[in-house]
Structure 1
Amino acid sequence: MPFPGERIYWHDHSVQPPAPGTPDLPDRVDVAVVGGGFTGLSVALHLARGGRKVALFEAASLGYGASSRNGGMIGPGLHKLGITGLRKAYGEDRAKDILREGLHALDHLEDFVTSEQIDCDLHLTGRFRGARTPAQYEASAHECDWLSKNINLPCHVVPAADQHTEIGSDFYCGGNVYHRDGGVHPRKLVAGLTRRALDAGVTIFAPCAVTGINREATGLSLRTDLGTLTAREIVLATNGYSDGRTRALSRRIVPIETGASAIGPLSPGLMAELSPKLRMHGETGRVFMWYRPTPDGRSFIFGGRFGAGGMPLEARQKAFRHAITRVFPQLHGSPFSHVWSGQIAYTKDHSPHLGHHDGVWMAGGYCGSGVTRSLYFGTKLARRMLGEAQAGTAFDDLPFSPVPFRPLAPMGADMLARWYQMQDARDLKARDLNRDTVS
């Protein structure tokens, strides 16, 4: 349920996904898909086009979860372990394969949106990632060089003296521009996916929760709000909104609550000052902020692991204001138009996964980079189920293990985030002291 006072920017600037109608619940289907976001809709679409009789169930409205609450930022996604962490964990060659998979996922998203003629404001504007400290600038410069040479990712370094060509702020110590990043309107993408799925013959039930799954002699039995049906196969695509009803996936991911807000509309002059090239934006740091201009270029959306739904609206706005104005003091008095929250899913190894576990198919654990990955993984999973070619990914043989002490994991993740925030604050304090000394 939404928290009091929440308003989602994307919901106020898009048409609703097409209504699925009120179909009768069938006795049996080939595949039942649980979850009506990017992953569920994409896997259902591909399966239906492959000749399967598919029913999709969404407990709330289509795209209710992260699929219409995210920032709409796309890109290769890279990896939460970073280049050094990946090479240490998997070796040089495997690290390159995993990072290249992000480029394949982005290519897939572009091709899909273009070929399906989905109007979702897809624009590859690039992303400027600011470095909070000189040490992080040096590290990000090395990263940019390595990515360019080893996986052909187009990026370039922006020194502090030139960063005003990218951002109207003195907060950073330079940064990188990643040219293959960009943005979409996620709510419009949900709507486009829904239309294609319905056209392909997917039967959609929303709102209709799946309340239980049992294995029987005739197949897998699903209990739903509308009754019970049997499916030959089941796909779990609930990601950060997984719970006891989808336990096979829930026990393998840790839901993380994040917050987002929109400020504006702003004057064209101020927008041009904040982001001269209207790029996507991010920053280094353990707990970082992402931000972007809205597709119409009139407002800015900010998000991160602060200002989430577990606090009063005023406190959430205060947390956002603090994070935003240390980068953009110009926005000190600018009004919030929207504040909302949502859940993403992390995994034990910080990698996304797809495959067959505990008798069901599943995909998820996108670790905050789900817009690009979810459509790609949904299609890959469907291809695997259909026995088609080009179904493999670089993540396939990574074990999708249950999270130890899963009921306590969200609390542990919150404590770790607080510790990271303290370390980030320490780094910024040391940086500012050094700037004062130099000046």
Structure 2
Amino acid sequence: MPFSGERIYWLNDDQARPEAAPQNLPAKVDVAVVGAGYTGLTAALHLARAGRNVVVFDAVAVGHGASSRNGGMVGPGLHKLGITGLVNTYGEARAIAILGEGLRALDHLQTFLEEERIECDLTLAGRFRGARTPAHYGASARECDWLRAKIGLPSYNVPKAEQRAEIGSDFYHGGVVYVRDGGVHPRKLLLALVDKAFEAGVRILAPCAVTGLRRGLGGTEVQTDQGVLNAREVVLATNGYSDRRSAVLNCRVVPIETGACAVGPLTPEQMAELTPKARMHGETGRIFMWYRPTPDGRSFIFGGRFGAGGASLAAREAAFRRSITRVFPQLADAPLSHVWSGQIAYTADHSPHLGQVDGVWLAGGYCGSGVTRAIYFGTKLARRMLGQSDSETAFDALPFNSVPFRPFAPWGAGMLVRWHQMKDNRDLRAARG
């Protein structure tokens, strides 16, 4: 949830303009979409173009959640279980299919933006993933070789002696460059989707909270804080912002709070030192930091699980400063212009999912890699609802199960984060000597 004093970098200037004009609640629609983020808007767009009468609801505002709070990094997404975990769980053939789906999702995003002529500062400058320890470098190099051989992922290893060509830091022990990763301006992408949806005839009601769903013979009664309507079909696209009002999805994902900050403005010389090739960046580790230059090349955005939930602005800034200066000590006195938080959604199997459960269409559980996946899954979900071809994904055979002991899951996730941080600190101490 937002905290007092938060400032979101992407909402500067005209990107903060209101998107949805007030509209009356219709009595009946073909499809009600709950959640006006990337997934919901993409699904609504495709459904409306196919002739469906679609209304999109959001409890707060269009793109209030992760779609306006993420880092804007795009890529294949890979998988949180890692190669070994995937192969051990599903076998090599299915693991290859799941990982290959990430490349198809990225291809889809590129094609979609080109065909729709959406300007959102897309750049595929690649991503450098730094290895925190020598052991991490060896594991990353082996993973890089496997991905290149098995799914054709363009990537290459960078030894420590050569990493200054990628990053203005000596902190890492080498790393890997993933060539096809990149970035977008997430708010520009969101607003473009809004405009496309309006053009297709989609109605957006925001703020208008959906408070309950009641299945009937003729469809679903959608209860909102502005009245009731009947929908033939319902899409839940609330992801990390699911709650008891979207119970079918809420019981299948665990919301996890993450934070982000913008450092700058910086000089062109500073930016060139930090990232000589203007790449996206990440690192190995259980609790890791991601970072990237802003589209205008004047600031850097850092993100990760920093600062405990409910922490003050000062505590969050201090947590960011410690993590940033660990990699870039030259930024010790650089200004933090923006600090904000958001929620991502994890699943029990660390995989994203889409499909129909209890008569409701669902898509989400992107596990922190949501920009590319949300556009892809929103499209696939709409195609499936319309009975169109090319709606299949490698994730279809994976059951979208409820999270065990769901009411206690956020507490358990917080404890696991702290445990992983302790283990990461131990590894760093060992690597230093």
Given the alignment of the two structures, is residue 250 of structure 1 paired with residue 228 of structure 2, yes or no? Answer: no
Residue of structure 2 equivalent to 1:189: 189
Residue of structure 1 equivalent to 2:175: 175
Is the 2:263–2:335 Cα contact (8 Å) retained in structure 1?
yes
Q: How high is the TM-score relative to the length of structure 2?
A: 0.99
Question: How far off is 1:215 after superposition?
Answer: 1.4
Residue of structure 2 equivalent to 1:342: 342
Given the alignment of the two structures, is residue 274 of structure 1 paired with residue 274 of structure 2, yes or no? Answer: yes
Rounded to whole Å, the distance in 1 between the matches of 2:359 and 2:73 is: 33
Percent sequence identity over aligned pairs: 68
Matched ranges for 1:210-359 at <5 A: 210-307=210-307, 309-359=309-359
Rounded to whole Å, the distance in 2 between the matches of 1:21 and 1:413 is: 38
Is the 1:212–1:245 Cα contact (8 Å) retained in structure 2?
yes
Rounded to whole Å, the distance in 2 between the matches of 1:264 and 1:394 is: 41
Residue of structure 2 equivalent to 1:119: 119
Question: How far off is 1:14 after superposition?
Answer: 4.7
Residue correspondences, number: 433
Is the 1:17–1:190 Cα contact (8 Å) retained in structure 2?
no
Residue of structure 2 equivalent to 1:19: 19
Residue of structure 1 equivalent to 2:77: 77
Rounded to whole Å, the distance in 1 between the matches of 2:14 and 2:252 is: 33
Question: How far off is 1:272 after superposition?
Answer: 0.5
User: Unaligned stretches of 5+ in structure 1?
Assistant: 434-439
Residue of structure 2 equivalent to 1:140: 140
Rounded to whole Å, the distance in 1 between the matches of 2:241 and 2:14 is: 23
Rounded to whole Å, the distance in 2 between the matches of 1:18 and 1:422 is: 43
Rounded to whole Å, the distance in 2 between the matches of 1:369 and 1:218 is: 36
Residue of structure 1 equivalent to 2:159: 159
Is the 2:20–2:62 Cα contact (8 Å) retained in structure 1?
no
Rounded to whole Å, the distance in 2 between the matches of 1:308 and 1:386 is: 43
Rounded to whole Å, the distance in 2 between the matches of 1:327 and 1:14 is: 33
Question: How far off is 1:18 after superposition?
Answer: 5.9
Residue of structure 1 equivalent to 2:378: 378
Could you tell me which amino acid in structure 1 is paired with residue 146 of structure 2?
A: W
SS at match of 2:15: coil
Question: How far off is 1:226 after superposition?
Answer: 1.6
Residue of structure 1 equivalent to 2:5: 5
Could you tell me which amino acid in structure 2 is paired with residue 2 of structure 1?
A: P
Check 1:169–1:117 CA distance in 2 against 1; reply closer, same or farther (3 A cut): same
Q: How high is the TM-score relative to the length of structure 1?
A: 0.97
Residue of structure 1 equivalent to 2:98: 98
Given the alignment of the two structures, is residue 401 of structure 1 paired with residue 373 of structure 2, yes or no? Answer: no
Question: How far off is 1:162 after superposition?
Answer: 0.3
Rounded to whole Å, the distance in 1 between the matches of 2:143 and 2:373 is: 22
Residue of structure 2 equivalent to 1:367: 367
Residue of structure 2 equivalent to 1:46: 46
Q: Deviations over 1:378-436 (max 9, x none)?
A: 00000000000000000001000000110100000110110000000000000101xxx
Question: How far off is 1:26 after superposition?
Answer: 1.1
Q: Deviations over 1:58-104 (max 9, x none)?
A: 11111100011000000000000001111111111110000000001
Q: Deviations over 1:160-188 (max 9, x none)?
A: 00000000000000000000000000000
User: Unaligned stretches of 5+ in structure 2?
Assistant: none
Rounded to whole Å, the distance in 2 between the matches of 1:102 and 1:219 is: 34
Could you tell me which amino acid in structure 2 is paired with residue 275 of structure 1?
A: T
Could you tell me which amino acid in structure 1 is paired with residue 134 of structure 2?
A: P
Moved over 6 A (4+): none
Rounded to whole Å, the distance in 2 between the matches of 1:126 and 1:289 is: 17
Rounded to whole Å, the distance in 1 between the matches of 2:349 and 2:17 is: 34
Is the 1:127–1:181 Cα contact (8 Å) retained in structure 2?
yes
Is the 1:18–1:194 Cα contact (8 Å) retained in structure 2?
no
Rounded to whole Å, the distance in 2 between the matches of 1:277 and 1:403 is: 41
Is the 1:260–1:307 Cα contact (8 Å) retained in structure 2?
no
Is the 2:19–2:191 Cα contact (8 Å) retained in structure 1?
no
Is the 1:259–1:309 Cα contact (8 Å) retained in structure 2?
no
Q: Deviations over 1:334-371 (max 9, x none)?
A: 11000000000000000000000022000000000000
Rounded to whole Å, the distance in 2 between the matches of 1:2 and 1:72 is: 19
Q: Deviations over 1:309-358 (max 9, x none)?
A: 52011111110000000100000011100000000000000000000002
Residue of structure 1 equivalent to 2:411: 411
Question: How far off is 1:13 after superposition?
Answer: 5.1
Q: Deviations over 1:4-32 (max 9, x none)?
A: 11000000155246632222211110000
Given the alignment of the two structures, is residue 129 of structure 1 paired with residue 100 of structure 2, yes or no? Answer: no
Q: Deviations over 1:255-288 (max 9, x none)?
A: 0000000010001111100110110000000000
Rounded to whole Å, the distance in 2 between the matches of 1:137 and 1:212 is: 49
Could you tell me which amino acid in structure 2 is paired with residue 386 of structure 1?
A: L
SS at match of 2:330: helix
Rounded to whole Å, the distance in 1 between the matches of 2:14 and 2:326 is: 31
Residue of structure 2 equivalent to 1:437: none
Residue of structure 2 equivalent to 1:57: 57
Could you tell me which amino acid in structure 2 is paired with residue 177 of structure 1?
A: V
Residue of structure 1 equivalent to 2:429: 429
Rounded to whole Å, the distance in 1 between the matches of 2:131 and 2:9 is: 28
Rounded to whole Å, the distance in 1 between the matches of 2:21 and 2:8 is: 24
Rounded to whole Å, the distance in 2 between the matches of 1:19 and 1:167 is: 38
Rounded to whole Å, the distance in 2 between the matches of 1:428 and 1:172 is: 10
Is the 1:169–1:327 Cα contact (8 Å) retained in structure 2?
yes
SS at match of 1:15: helix
Could you tell me which amino acid in structure 1 is paired with residue 126 of structure 2?
A: G
Is the 2:19–2:62 Cα contact (8 Å) retained in structure 1?
no
Is the 1:148–1:155 Cα contact (8 Å) retained in structure 2?
yes
Rounded to whole Å, the distance in 2 between the matches of 1:129 and 1:344 is: 21
Rounded to whole Å, the distance in 1 between the matches of 2:83 and 2:134 is: 19
Could you tell me which amino acid in structure 2 is paired with residue 427 of structure 1?
A: D
Residue of structure 2 equivalent to 1:390: 390
